[in-house]
Structure formats: structure tokens, C-alpha cells
Amino acid sequence: MPVRKRLSPQESRAQALSAARDLLREEGVQAITLKAVAGRIGRTHANLLHHFGSVADLHRALADQIAHEVATQITSSIGQMRRGEKRMRDVVEGMFDAFIEQRVGELIAWVVLTRQRESLAPIMDAIAEVIRDIRSPDDARPLDQATLGLVLFAIGDSLAGVEVAEACGLPRSAARDMATEQVLAVLAGKKVVGQA
């Protein structure tokens, strides 16, 4: 029997999180169990329990990793937009695509439905970080409102955007069009639907 390479705690966690991400993409968040992840990386359930404590802690660590990667991507896109390299529509497209590819909406929905709301903390921290990173000292625009609308649009779109657009008789891109228009309106200080 081959001898398994001894990994540092950081390497073990990284390997487990990589396997958890693969499971998330391939089978959905319900497939991310300590047993399934351990089986993927050739470790024991006890080994993963040692590194994460519980499956909820594994979900939280995965949410943290994904949230910060997506936040970094969004902040980078906004920086490119400020330099004239991207339009707002490109930022919206990138965010919606990241939420779909990384299964962010599904991860958030699972955390909420399983009443593990404390696991949302990394995602909320990442959103707050985006607002801090993109706000310049002289910028009085309501970036928090623009971000709120954009994140909620992206979550909904990543969960059921195809089906809802089809039910409404609209193209798949309709939610992205609406999100772009709303963000531009909010940043321009214009009233949007539902705003007093």
C-alpha cells in the first residue's frame, strides 16, 4: 500500500477546500459532506473533522474562500471601469457570471435553508470589503445601495434566472439589463422603482 504524503495543516485544508469546490460545481452544495470530501482527497472523515470541526465549518470555510475570490474579481472589474477599460455592463456581467460559475447563490440558499446563517458571515464581510475598496474619500454616491441591488439581482439570477426569464417571456439577459440600469440610476442619484 502506498504511503500517503504528510501534509501541513494548511495544505490539508487547501486540498479539502479544492475538493469541496469540485463537489459544489459538479453535484451541488448538498454533496459537500466531510465523508465525500475525505473520499475525494484520500483522507479520513476524522482527518477532516480535525481540520474543520464540522461540515458547517467546512461550508463556512468554502463560503469564505469563494466570497473573497469573487469580491477581488468585482473590485478589480470596478478598478478597470474607473480607468475606462470596462463599462458598468461589463462589471455586472462579471459579477453575474461569477455568481453562476462559483455557485454563490446556491451556497447562500443552502446556508439559509439549513439555518446556518452564521456561515454567511464571510460573504457579508466580502460584500462590505468591496464597498470599502471601491469607495474613494470624495465619493458621496450611494455605493452601498448600488451594491445591495446588484448582489440581490446576482443571487436571484444565479438560482433561477433562466427559468424566471423564460416564464416572463424575456431573454436570459433581461436581469442583467435591469441590474445595469438600476446601478447606473442609483449612482447618478436618480430614483428607481420602489424608492421613496
Nearest C-alpha neighbor of 179 from the set 142, 161, 152:
152
Q: Which of 36-40, 120-124, 167-171 is the least confident region?
A: 120-124
Question: Has residue 193 got a pLDDT over 90?
Answer: no
Question: Has residue 133 got a pLDDT over 80?
Answer: no
Q: Which of 18-22, 57-61, 141-145, 154-158 is the least confident region?
A: 141-145
Nearest C-alpha neighbor of 88 from the set 101, 76, 78, 74:
78
- What's the CATH architecture for 7-53? Orthogonal Bundle (1.10)
Dump pLDDT digits (tens) for 70-93. 888 888 888 888 788 988 898 889
At residue 163, the pLDDT reads 95
Q: pLDDT-based confidence at 117, cuts 50/70/90?
A: confident
Considering the chain, what percentage of its residues have pLDDT values greater than 90? 19
Question: Has residue 111 got a pLDDT over 50?
Answer: yes
Question: pTM score, two decimals?
Answer: 0.76
> What are the residue boundaries of the structural domains of the chain, listed by start?
7-53, 56-187
To the nearest 5 percent, what fractions of the chain are helix, strand and coil? 75, 0, 25
CA atoms of 119 and 64, how far apart (whole Å)? 9
CA atoms of 165 and 135, how far apart (whole Å)? 33
